Amino acid sequence: MLEIKNIYKSFGNLEVLKDISLSIGKREIVAIVGPSGAGKTTLLQIAGTLEKPDRGSLLFNGTELIGMKDKKLSAFRNKNIGFVFQFHQLLPEFTARENVALPALIAGISKKKAMEKASELLVQLGLADRMDHKPSAMSGGERQRTAIARALINDPEIIFADEPTGSLDSANREEIQKIFTDLRDKFGQTVVMVTHDSTLAGIADRVIEMADGRILPAITHDEGNIDDTECSLSIIDPLDAGGNGSEDFVGDGVEEVGESAD
């Protein structure tokens, strides 16, 4: 589905990403872990077309996205990509249902259909009695579930999540973990997430470990033997991942302003 090839990115004299290559397939959850400053968020933003690399290639189902004109790229992003961030970034003046419907309205869907679908998603995520509440009247977990519904409104091919459980308590973290697992298992959704939460990383099909702007060498398991030869992906058993672990609406949906060096 998504091919990231030889990506480099610098901010001034700081080289944040150094020759990053990885592939993301359909129906998988991929967790990107590593210390703060490793380049995780920058990689997520480039993969989600919110940030442009200095060099490299980004192929989505065979279509090159690097160099695509802004208007076309915005339309592509709104249709194909959903975003979930740590602090939900819901617009405070709108209700949960209105927030969820916004990307569909931007995509040209009628208000009636957009609001109907927003309601359906909120019901599915256990927010039937909260859909007409504004964010200030909702709990942290309810706001984050609303953000997930917003990410799903246009039936995206892939969801990018940046620390989606970072601001939640343990009970709400478990709820978000279950939602992501169900999205993959029941609906075939692809999810790529940056996280410091080892339990959340534990639900991933693959864990990509980063440090100093690079993907660390892979650890693969072959008939009980570990081969730590270098390759472009760092794949570690989720059970061993412990300890390794934000958006303004524009013409296409949401953009997120995070720490550029993370």
Smallest CA-to-CA distance from 164 within 231, 123, 151, 128 is with 151
Q: Higher-confidence residue: 15 or 172?
A: 15
Predicted confidence at residue 223, as pLDDT, reads 38
For residue 252, pLDDT beyond 70: no
Domain ranges across the chain: 25-54+70-255
CA end-to-end span of the chain, whole Å?
25
Smallest CA-to-CA distance from 156 within 111, 104, 194, 115 is with 104
- pTM given for the model: 0.79
* Over residues 80-96, mean pLDDT: 90
- Other CB atoms closer than 10 Å to residue 224's CB: what's the count? 5
Smallest CA-to-CA distance from 254 within 49, 66, 27 is with 49
* Over residues 83-101, mean pLDDT: 91
The number of helices, as runs of H, and strands, as runs of E, in the chain is: 7, 14
Predicted confidence at residue 255, as pLDDT, reads 40
φ/ψ region of 122 (left if φ > 0, alpha if ψ in -120 to 50, else beta) reads alpha
- Alpha-carbon distances, residue 228 vs 38, 206, 224, 225, 232 (angstroms): 21, 16, 13, 10, 12
For residue 67, pLDDT beyond 70: yes
Is there a contact between 44 and 96 (Cβ–Cβ < 8 Å)?
no
DSSP-derived 3-state class of residue 97: helix
| Mean residue pLDDT across the chain | 84
β-bridge partners, 159? 82, 191
Kindly state the percentage of the chain with pLDDT values over 70.
83
Sorting pLDDT into bands at 50, 70 and 90, what band is 218? low
Rounded Cα–Cα distance for residues 179 and 176 (Å): 5
Predicted confidence at residue 85, as pLDDT, reads 84
For residue 66, pLDDT beyond 70: yes
CATH architecture entry for 25-54+70-255: 3-Layer(aba) Sandwich (3.40)
Predicted confidence at residue 168, as pLDDT, reads 83
DSSP-derived 3-state class of residue 155: coil
DSSP-derived 3-state class of residue 257: coil
* E strand segments, 108-157: none
Instruction: State pLDDT tens for residues 185-212.
Output: 988 999 999 999 888 999 999 999 999 9
Instruction: State pLDDT tens for residues 114-162.
Output: 999 999 999 999 999 999 999 999 998 899 999 999 999 999 999 999 9
Predicted confidence at residue 89, as pLDDT, reads 83
Rounded Cα–Cα distance for residues 133 and 129 (Å): 8
Residue 212 in tokens:
């100093």
Is there a contact between 79 and 253 (Cβ–Cβ < 8 Å)?
no
